[in-house]
Amino acid sequence: MSIRPTRPPSWYDRFARSAYETLRGKIRPSSPDQRFLAFSDPNHRLARELRIKVPGTHRHSTVVSGLGAYAGREIEADELVLRVAGLFHDISKKDAPRLFVEAGLGSRQLPRPIGTVEELRIILDHPALSAAILQKHGFPLEIIQAVREHHGTTRSRLSLTPEMRRHIGEHELIYPGPKPSTRESSILMIADSVEAALNHYRRTNDWPAVPTHEFILGIIHRVGTELRAAAQFDDYVFGRFDQQRVEEAMAKFMRRYYCGLDVDSSSKPPMK
């Protein structure tokens, strides 16, 4: 499967793509794409495996799924793509639960330092490995593409053993990409980073009993700014105005999530 163009997209390519995506959002019929409905079933075989083998990753993925779909609706991105891609974006972690800090139920556990090049490869390749699993199970291309691009070319945040640190250069800790090439991929990347960042903040900082919208938005905005500064939205024109609306929507969603309120009833996929 070839997803990436063979030459880097020109300014015109990116502009044309952006215009197409915007138009596609405007004229998209209100009925959901039937191809996605079967894959949004929480009892799908892969969703069950995720829940049983890596409950922590399942919890994270469920939040990313709801968060991405909710924010996607704000800028007329494809909600169903975001809902399904969010749920399965880390599916390959089910095959290596010990390597991923959030995979178990105890999300407060410290990450185990990575001690071999093979382990490092499994972590850095998890977007491509997840995409391959979804391809094998017949998921639509839009989902596979978003999953493959969800870490872009960001730097992974993992700890290495002292021995590994001596041998591994900084550039070897970068995810291999590709960068997001659609608005859905861009939103999935932000939703994934936002969920992880808020979780990390809660574990390591003072967390207010009742977090305000502004407090959560501040953390989300830092995440979005870092991703933009790391040039993750260069292959696809994901405008600052869209990003701002997405961040606002995410802050609204996450505040309600942390306050135990119903966050998601307005963006559940329609019943068959």
Q: Whose Cβ is closer to Fe ion: residue 79's or residue 90's?
A: 90
The residue from 74, 78, 90, 242 that contacts Fe ion (CB under 5 A) is: 90
Query: Does residue 235 touch Fe ion according to CB under 5 A?
Result: no
Q: Whose Cβ is closer to Fe ion: residue 90's or residue 242's?
A: 90
Query: Does residue 184 touch Fe ion according to CB under 5 A?
Result: no
Q: Whose Cβ is closer to Fe ion: residue 155's or residue 213's?
A: 155
Q: Please, are residues 198 and 253 in contact by the beta-carbon 8 Å criterion? A: no
Q: Whose Cβ is closer to Fe ion: residue 14's or residue 179's?
A: 179
The residue from 21, 78, 192, 235 that contacts Fe ion (CB under 5 A) is: 192
Smallest separation (angstroms) from Fe ion to the CB of 124: 10
Smallest separation (angstroms) from Fe ion to the CB of 150: 6
Q: Whose Cβ is closer to Fe ion: residue 37's or residue 46's?
A: 46
DSSP letters for the chain: ---S-SSPPPHHHHHHHHHHHHHHHHH--SSPPHHHHGGG-TTSHHHHHHHHH-HHHHHHHHHHHHHHHHHHHHTT--HHHHHHHHHHTTGGGGG-GGG-TTSSS-TTSPPPPB-SHHHHHHHHTHHHHHHHHHHHTT--HHHHHHHHTTTTTPBP---B-HHHHHH--GGGGB---PPP-SHHHHHHHHHHHHHHHHHHHHHHS---SS--HHHHHHHHHHHHHHHHHTTTTTTTT--HHHHHHHHHHHHHHHHHHHTT----GGGSPPP-
Smallest separation (angstroms) from Fe ion to the CB of 210: 27
Smallest separation (angstroms) from Fe ion to the CB of 156: 9
Contact window for Fe ion (CB under 5 A) among 42-50, 159-167, 188-196, 232-240: 188-196
Smallest separation (angstroms) from Fe ion to the CB of 176: 13
Q: How many residues belong to the site for Fe ion (CB under 5 A)?
A: 2
Q: Whose Cβ is closer to Fe ion: residue 13's or residue 95's?
A: 95
Write out the residues near Fe ion by the rule CB under 5 A.
Answer: 90, 192
